[in-house]
Amino acid sequence: MRVILPPHEKPGRILCLLGMCVAFAGIGTGHLSKYFIYLDVFSHLTLHFAIAAITLGWAFLLPRYRLTTAISLMLAGMVALGAWGNYGPHSIPRGEVVPPGHRELRVMSFNIWLWNRDQVAIEAEIKRMDPDIVFMAEVVRPTRDMAGRMVARYPYQYPKDMGYGFLLWMMSRYPLQDVVVQSVWEGPVYLSASLGPEWGNLTILGTHTLRAPYVAAQWKQINALGKHVQTIKSPRLVFGDFNATLYSRMVRQLAGQSGLIRRTSLPTWPVSWPGLPQLAIDHMFADRELLFPDGVITGQYAGSDHLPIFARVLVPVPGQASAESDTVKDVAHVIAN
- How many angstroms separate the first and last alpha carbons of the chain? 94
What confidence score (pLDDT) does residue 186 get? 64
The reported pTM is: 0.89
Nearest to 191 by CA among 160, 217, 219, 216: 160
pLDDT, tens digit (0-9, with 9 covering 90-100), for 30-78: 999 999 999 999 999 999 999 999 999 999 988 888 889 999 999 999 9
For the beta carbon of residue 255, count every other beta carbon within 10 angstroms: 17
Number of residues assigned to the chain: 337
**Cα(55)–Cα(174) distance, integer angstroms:** 50
What confidence score (pLDDT) does residue 330 get? 43
- Domain boundaries for CATH 3.60.10.10 within the chain: 102-318
What are all long-range contacts of 196-199, with beta carbons under 8 Å and residues at least 24 apart?
A: 198/103, 198/317, 199/103, 199/105, 199/174, 199/315, 199/317
Contact indicator for 53, 73 with CB cutoff of 8 Å: no
**Cα(78)–Cα(84) distance, integer angstroms:** 10
Which CATH number is correct for 102-318, 1.10.15.40, 3.60.10.10, 3.40.50.1820, 3.60.21.10? 3.60.10.10
Which segments in the chain show pLDDT lower than 50? 1, 322-337
For the beta carbon of residue 231, count every other beta carbon within 10 angstroms: 7
**Cα(24)–Cα(117) distance, integer angstroms:** 41
Reduced to 3 states (helix: H, G, I; strand: E, B; else coil), residue 31 is helix
